[in-house]
Structure 1
Amino acid sequence: MLQATPLTEGWILRHEGGALPAVVPGCVHTDLLAAEVIPDPFLGRNESEVAWVGRREWTYERDLAPVNGHEQTDLVLDGLDTVAEVLLDGQLLGRTRNMHRSYRFDVTGMSGRLAVRFVSAYAEAEAVRGKLGERPAAYAEPYQYLRKMACSFGWDWGPTLVTAGIWRPVRLEQWSTARIARVRPLVTVEQGAGVVELAVEVERARVEAPLSVEASVGGVRARAAIDGTTGTVRLEVPDARLWWPRGYGEQPLYEVELTLLHEGRPLDVWRRRVGFRTVELDRSADEHGTGFTFVLNGERLFARGVNWIPDDVFPSRITRERYRERLGQAADAGVDLVRIWGGGIYESEDFYDVCDELGLLVWQDFPFACAAYPEEQPLRGEVEAEARENVVRLMPHPSLVLWNGNNENLWGFRDWGWEVRLAGDSWGEGYYLGVLPRVVAELDPTRPYTAGSPWSGSWEHHPNDPAHGTHHSWEVWNRLDYAGYRDDVPRFVAEFGWQAPPAYATLARALPGEELAADSPGVLHHQKADDGNGKLRRGLERHFPFPEGDFDRWHYLTQVNQARAVAAGIEHWRSHWPVCAGTVVWQLNDCWPVTSWAAVDGDGREKPLYHELRRLYADRLLTVQEREGGLVLAAVNQAGDPWAGVLRLRRMSVEGVLIGEGEVGFAAERRAVARVDVPRELEPLGPKEFLVVDADGLRALHFPCPDRDIPYPRPEFDVSVAPGSVTVAARTLVRDLLLQADRLDPGARADRGLVTLLPGERVTIGVRGWETPDADAARSALYCLEPSR
């Protein structure tokens, strides 16, 4: 039987200054940090102080004792970051140049000193650039010249911390006769039966030994012979329970076990969990353009998505527990789709396992982002090899529903001046329209592939045409007011977002000793977007007087504006289902403490946007929309049952006076939107009035003017506390009340974000992690909109 021995202990990291203990899996930065050779690059401006690390060469070493008892011994390295030589007792085993692949070397009968020597990623990238020529990119760093996590070279939300190291597990595998080299599971549903077809490849130590495989799933067993090095076994599970996305049904998972046998004796075992479901991507043309709608088990979905970046710039630190926490936050916010963005990595099995369990659909980018990528060697062979490995590795997961060729590169070629600069040089089109769809069609025909995001489906349309395929909406954040989201109805919004700083406690931890200000040195260093603070300011000034010199007010208002902006987009686009079939917010998470578009900051704290997503992505949503001819109330029903009832409408003054009221019936079919005209006499007029709509515990508000023009009364409210809660009772209109629980205690969390109270209303906010409730302290951590100054 194959025996695996992890190689986690006894490693040292050698560098020109000496040696220090190393942790494997890990990376150079984390080892240097543990040894106190470098300061924490996440704190202050230390990122700049450790830039030298990415320019050096590093060697990991440990002893490898002789092993016996099997015919073959392999050294297996699941991930090396990135360009390295692997040597055993001075003998070269092989060279690597791809972070996204695993490696296997025959070390039968060998022992001695194992060394993995890493050259600088900069040195390799610059050498490839010198050989293949300059290619344009969104950033100056040379990330497109090697197969490495692009965002380790920095991004508009991430630090430049160019890593090296053994970032995934290492082990010895000892085996005799034969081993399982690869299993490619095709999982389908045919006439109510769940079908698993396992294409098996084996590696032999004995050519003539007769081999067979035995497989089981859901109580069904089957056997097949291995012909040479390949074989196929098919299993059918009658009346298999379907796997559904969260909110649509349950997520039953079936364990598949396949055993390689020689004369009845087990040699190796492969185990995975699968789920039975069908997935289609409806890209058919209609009167609105070209659609992009996910269809799971025959059910058409409005995808409620978030974009995912690596949760740590040092991905070896991300544990299964951390994946579960972060993805659990996504699920709790109503998210049903997570897009793994192309400037990161193929995540570990733990990520996809958690998504399988939670019912989170996964859209997987191949790792290409915001650059022209050369298609010549040595890159071309690496691209195909990594695609083949990772497509097969991830195939068992029912959560995986889409392969996407790249992030923004087709758009960049057309709009960012690349075509002229390239002058005919390769730039990646051959990957996205050639290599990658061929690999997916050959290996994983059960899942759809799209060439890129954004992509209109062909060069007949602009790559980012909102009427065709996927659309990235960045003009609004970069240049316009967030009301610009309402100017069109894309078929699928794969990226859009608005920035805000992280939670106060996150900033305070990341910038120790600094007097916080919107433009203080540390705050500016932890703002990586081009003119990011300028865009934050201009976005605020369209709605609020800018709070000059008042950091606390700036911090609160920018977070309000982020939540308002994302709400403007999602409410508008959801109200246009089924023309618009999904929104994927940029972004769920951060990889360090930074001002960014994230809903959950780099310390894992939820911003107000996170809590707003819980409202926006709920099965049922009320929203007031401005349409030609007047106001329309949209009752969005993504639940599986019809929704009917009575809407209570109130036209009110900001002083709390009821001007008019009425009731209107509505009926929304399952997975549908009901639209009801707001009676003219109830439409608010001018800055002193607003509309309130209530139904079934849900509420929609409509203020017809920017906040800077609204004469809000000075907010008056009473505060009471109890263990685990803060209650606020309003005596006036209290708009966008927010309890910043982390100001009470860095470990405290509130269970809700922004809330607007009418006079006489109250709200109880759950708080965990606050051990000494105090009403005065709670009041000091409460923020809301105030009269314009």
Structure 2
Amino acid sequence: MRKSLLYFSWSFKTPYLILFVLVVCCGIKLNAQQQYELNSGWQCKPLKEVSVSGATITKPGFNMSDWMPATVPGTVLTTLLNNNKVPDPFYGMNNQLIKDVYSTGNAYYTYWFVKSFEQTAKGDEQVWLKLRGVNYKCELFLNGNKVNAQTHEGMHLRQQYNITKLLAANGQNRLAVLVYPPDFPGAPNGGQGGDGTIAKGLTTQYTAGWDWIQPIRDRNTGIWDKVFIEKTNGVNLQNPHVITLVPGKRLPAGKQEAAVIRTSGEIENPLNKTVNGFLQYTLEGKTIKTAVQLKAGEKRVVKLPDFQLVNPKLWWPSGYGEQPLYTIRMQFVTTGGQLIDEETVKVGVREITTQWNERTRSRENYVNGQKIFIKGGNWVISDAMLRFSEERYDAEVRFHRDMNLNLIRIWGGAIIERPEFYEACDKYGMLVFQDFWFSGDCNGKWTDPLKKDDQWTRRQYPDNHELVLTAAEDQIKMIRNHASLAFWCGGNEITPPDDILFALKDRILPELDGTRYFYDYSNSNDMSYNFLGGNGDGPYTIQDQKTFWSFKTYPYNSEVGSVGVGDYASLKRFIPEKNLIAPQNGKEPDSVWAYHKYIPYDQHVDPYGKAKDAKDFAMKAQLVNYDQYRSLMEGFSAHMWDWYTGVMIWKTQNPWTAMRGQMYDAYLDVNACLYGLRKGGEPLHIMMNPLDSMVTIVNNGFGIERNTMVQANVYDIDGKLQQQIQAFTEVAASTTQRTFPINEPLKKIKNGAFVVLKLLNAQQKVLSENLYWLPGADGKYTGLQSMKNAVLKVETRKATKGNIELILKNDKANPVAFFNRIALVNSKTGERILPAFFSDNYLTVLPGEEKTIQIDFPAQTNVPVSIQVYGWNVKEQLLPLNIN
């Protein structure tokens, strides 16, 4: 949701017709409110070096020549890093060199942040200061005056102040914000959330350390989210609410029955007089409005009449349909037609429901009346130091779409993400499962010797329950309009305290939302019946591929995960050269690897040959990564609606340079996990059951796939076709179907084999293709180790700024060109251009085969670009490009 100046989207050829339209459309005048962000020119200084008050700092003439440039939005640690006051905490063991707030005391990280800006107000104009997030407490001063009567507390809570009367007459204003760290930063003693006391406040629990991150030394103290100045013509319209109702069972294509659009908005009148007007919006050429009278000082929610949207363009999760969005500009206009204030909302028309599946004993989910098999990833936070951007959010969510996932779960030890994150999820069709700010580790689910307080005490964290409820109300309003937001959850692996839990589910959510299912906690029996005992999720370590097919785990597993080491280029970004030592099975890893939370690959790398060095290990680890996540998603999909209604991988991204649970690294560089998961999660997918070599098809779609041919091709390690089996079949909607086994042909292969499965339609177009590499009878990949080198021909069909079409060709006389990594690099520096999006990667090209890859990347200015390709048995080559 963002403010915008009023404009009209009609396209006319004469200015006279435009003028006529403006006149007849209620006489609205083009003098709407203004909003801008205070995101540059900030300065800061630690409190201990400032001897005067905020009132003095913000008076004209106060000298700030020796103050340090500050990063806002940002944290104290980000500002220190950007001013070269601390080393990069993401690199090596640098984090140990930075002072921790628990040891220094809070005063060390208590800072003044100051910003000057120009702004005036005249007549009924009102000016508002808006802060979207400060951690943890703050005092605000403007032009010598205190802005907030009471100290603001809480990271997860927006602030808004009417500063009209505090503005300087000459328009030259100075704002000062004194920011304090969390009252209880917690001891970073190696526990999940350290000693747990960080959860006594309403802040991010992970910053005291977790099993996937080292402590963030300032605990993310700072003005961490955006600061806005907004000017209205009087009345302030805020927190619009749009609900879409889509009755019945729909299909993505074809004409649709009408949907219901239900809207409301909060209106505040700060003036000393009664205001009369209309709350209204226009959609599909129809204006919906209601008359409003607001007394002086009054603030209330105003509901508009329901609107029947004819033949709506429906929003669907990724893999099931498109994601069209409607723009609603909710306006408050006077009876005389003057536009006073406006809010813009992007709306996806959809309805999400759930019901209990008695067969699986888990919750199953519906969008627009259609059953959706959940393929989800767990998300912690975009960046551990809160360095957010719209571009980074877009890239990360796009990666999740590219993995063929359809849901992201936001873990409870972090934050409710920023609106820009949900905008990206709306765009890419990712459902969101949103936890509130609780976790079993800190909030008392288990006995834990590393925790300071006992379970009964921790069970009541945070200390200020009213603050939690206030923040929940605020954050619900902030994100509730997003089509992607699908479910609310009380907390990670534990409920909030009862007075918070029941207030949320019985009062706050019904009043402020009322459309989304609420789970008491992330692995509750209401979500997935825990018939196995234990915590109701996991495991989190590497598994034999067959396990995913044979072992029946929780029917809607909220967390199951594995390894995730990046490739060699990724490792070099944060591991010093002297520490680039390959881990060996059964031995302790290097200290830097251990500090960055390396999970052992155990015996899974050795079948490819014991790693010679870190580069060799990283390449072999990618083979394991690909197989691990492809098998995970294939195993769950194979038992769709029989054992499972969904699965969520722990986890799919890292906000820090950890070496576990990531499909791309903290620098947005992809690894083979992403492409194995992408392959295994195809909406229409052909796969081989490793238990009995049965070729199986999974169809997540709503339609029957008729007259499809299932084709299985078995090649020896040299790429010679040994046998082909094929048969026609029909695949029902939303189902998994077994076809035929290929175990007999595989018995003839001694030192390994390649199996290529294809699903073709009646026009012989490939609908799904899947290549497996199999070990010899001894379980080792000796055949791969003895492969001859292949020479790939690499060329481009087109190359423009932001997009490349790459062709990989392998001559018939060549051996298989196995497991090729494609990267985009700066020709001068050799550094990878990030992020880059590949239609496929870590791919194999058979003899006589040609493959086309689409590459998207941020348009570069005056950066020479080359394509880098290397593989298991393909030497590295660089192809310089002439970008048009």
- Is 1:120 the counterpart of 2:181 in the alignment? yes
Aligned partner of 2:155 in structure 1 is: 99
Q: For structure 1, which segment, 678-687 or 95-104, has the greater mean C-alpha deviation from structure 2 after superposition?
A: 678-687
1:164 paired with 2:221, answer yes
- Cross-structure match for 2:622: 559
Equivalent position SS for 2:275: coil
CA 613–97 in structure 1, closer or farther in 2 if over 3 Å, else same: same
Q: Is the 8 A contact 1:717 1:729 kept in 2?
A: no
Match status 1:301 vs 2:372 = yes
Change (3 A) 1:756 1:114: closer
Distance 1:312 1:176 in 2: 38
Alpha-carbon separation, structure 2, partners of 1:562 and 1:357: 28
Q: Does residue 405 of structure 1 match 2:487?
A: no
In the alignment, the residues of structure 1 paired with residue 462 and residue 315 of structure 2 have an alpha-carbon distance, to the nearest angstrom, of 41
Deviation at 1:13, TM superposition (A): 0.7
| 2:258 matched residue in structure 1 | 193
Stretch of structure 1 that moved more, 772-781 or 450-459: 772-781
Equivalent pair of 2:245/2:350 in contact (CA under 8 Å): yes
The equivalent of 1:24 in structure 2 is 72
- The separation in 2 between residues aligned to 1:296 and 1:525, in whole angstroms, is 45
2:198 is matched by which residue type in structure 1? Y
Indicate which of 353, 357, 363 corresponds to 1:292.
Answer: 363
Aligned length: 744
Deviation of 1:274 after TM superposition, in Å, equals: 0.9
1:574 aligns with 2:631: no
Pairing partner for 1:345 from 384, 393, 415: 415
Aligned to 2:653: 589
Distance 1:389 1:296 in 2: 26
Q: Take 2:506 and 2:812, find their aligned partners in 1: how far apart are those partners? A: 58
2:266 partner amino acid: E
Contact 1:433 1:451 in 2 (8 A): no
For 1:576-655, list aligned pairs within 5 A: 576-579=639-642, 580-626=644-690, 630-643=692-705, 644-650=707-713, 654=717
Which amino acid is the alignment partner of residue 378 of structure 2? Answer: N
**Residue matched to 1:85:** 139
Deviation at 1:507, TM superposition (A): 2.2
Which region of structure 1 is more displaced relative to structure 2, 757-766 or 209-218? Answer: 757-766
Q: Secondary structure at the match of 1:599?
A: coil
User: Letter of the aligned partner of 2:592 in structure 1?
Assistant: H
Change (3 A) 1:482 1:522: closer
Deviation string 1:30-84 (CA, Å, 9 cap, x unpaired) is 2222222222222232222223467521111235778442555433211112222
Instruction: Establish whether residue 671 from structure 1 lines up as the match of residue 734 from structure 2.
Output: yes
- Distance (Å, rounded) in 2 between the aligned partners of 1:65 and 1:233: 37
* Change in CA separation of 1:484 and 1:476 when aligned onto 2, cut-off 3 Å: farther
Residue identity opposite 1:217 in structure 2: L
| Counterpart secondary structure, 1:495 | strand
Between stretches 770-779 and 157-166, larger displacement belongs to: 770-779
Partners of 2:734 and 2:665 in 1: how far apart? 32
* 1:494 matched to 2:562: no
CA distance in 1, matches of 2:731, 2:648: 24
Q: Secondary structure in 2 aligned to 1:396? A: coil
1:200-224 per-position Cα deviation (integer Å, ceiling 9, x unaligned): 3222233533343122222221221
Contact map agreement 1:495 1:584 (CA 8 A) in 2: yes
CA distance, structure 2, for counterparts of residue 274 and residue 351 of structure 1: 15
Aligned to 1:216: 282
SS at match of 2:572: helix
The alpha-carbon distance between structure 1 residues 503 and 746, as it changes in their structure 2 partners (threshold 3 A), is: farther
Give how far 1:100 is off.
Answer: 1.4
The Cα of 1:434 is off from its aligned counterpart by: 5.0
Match of 2:788 in 1: 716
Residue 457 of structure 1 aligns with which residue? 526
- How far the C-alpha of 1:682 sits from its partner, in A, is 4.0
Letter aligned with residue 172 of structure 1: I
Q: SS of the residue aligned with 1:557?
A: helix
Q: 2:275 is matched by which residue type in structure 1? A: A
1:525 matched to 2:592? The reply is yes
Q: Assess if the C-alpha contact under 8 Å between 2:817 and 2:874 holds in 1.
A: no
Give the distance between the partners of 1:262 and 1:659, measured in 2 at CA. Answer: 79
The question of 1:239 aligning with 2:311 is answered yes
The residue correspondences of 1:85-484 to structure 2 (distance < 5 A) are 85-88=139-142, 89=144, 91=146, 93=148, 94-110=150-166, 114-121=175-182, 123-125=183-185, 139-140=194-195, 142-161=197-216, 162-175=219-232, 177-189=234-246, 192-204=257-269, 205-206=271-272, 208-226=274-292, 229-234=300-305, 235-264=307-336, 265-282=338-355, 284-288=356-360, 290-315=361-386, 317-369=387-439, 370-372=441-443, 374-375=459-460, 378-409=463-494, 428=497, 430-432=499-501, 434-436=503-505, 438-457=507-526, 462=530, 472-474=537-539, 476-477=541-542, 481-484=544-547
Structure-to-structure mapping, 1:501-512, within 5 angstroms: 501-512=565-576
Q: How far apart, in 1, do the equivalents of 2:343 and 2:852 lie?
A: 51
1:259 touches 1:267 (CA, 8 Å); kept in 2? yes
Which sits farther off after the overlay, 52-61 or 290-299?
A: 52-61
Match of 2:6 in 1: none
Distance 1:772 1:183 in 2: 47
State the TM-score, normalized to the length of structure 1.
0.84
Over 3 Å counting, the alpha-carbon distance change for 1:61 and 1:679 in structure 2 is: closer
> Partners of 1:20 and 1:723 in 2: how far apart?
50
Q: Assess, with a 3 A threshold, how the Cα gap between structure 1 residues 554 and 254 changes in structure 2: closer, same or farther.
A: same
1:378 deviation in Å? 4.4
- Give the Cα–Cα distance (whole angstroms) in 2 for the partners of residues 508 and 672 of structure 1: 43
Where does structure 2 lack aligned partners over 5 or more consecutive residues? 1-31, 50-65, 168-172, 249-256, 295-299, 444-457, 761-765, 797-806, 857-863, 878-884
Shift of 1:432: 4.2
Secondary structure of 1:409's match? Answer: coil
- Is 2:381–2:655's contact at 8 Å kept on the other side of the alignment? yes
Using a 3 Å threshold, how does the CA distance of structure 1 residues 706 and 735 change in structure 2: closer, same or farther? farther
Structure 1 contact 455–464 (Cα < 8 Å) conserved: no
Contact 1:741–1:767 at 8 Å: present in 2 too? Answer: no
Q: Report how far residue 107 of structure 1 moved.
A: 3.3
Note if contact 1:527-1:596 (Cα within 8 Å) is conserved in structure 2. Answer: no
8 Å Cα contact 2:630/2:678 also seen in 1: no
Could you tell me how far apart the structure 1 residues matched to 2:501 and 2:161 are?
31
Aligned residues of 1:685 and 1:704 also touching (Cα < 8 A):
no
Aligned-pair identity (%): 21
Give the partner amino acid of 2:140.
V
Q: Deviations for 1:517-552, whole angstroms, at most 9, x for unmatched residues?
A: 13699964355576x44x3235545x55542x5222
Q: 1:429 to 1:609 in 2, by over 3 A?
A: farther
Separation in 2 of the partners of 1:179 and 1:682?
73
Of 738, 748, 758, the residue aligned with 2:820 is: 738
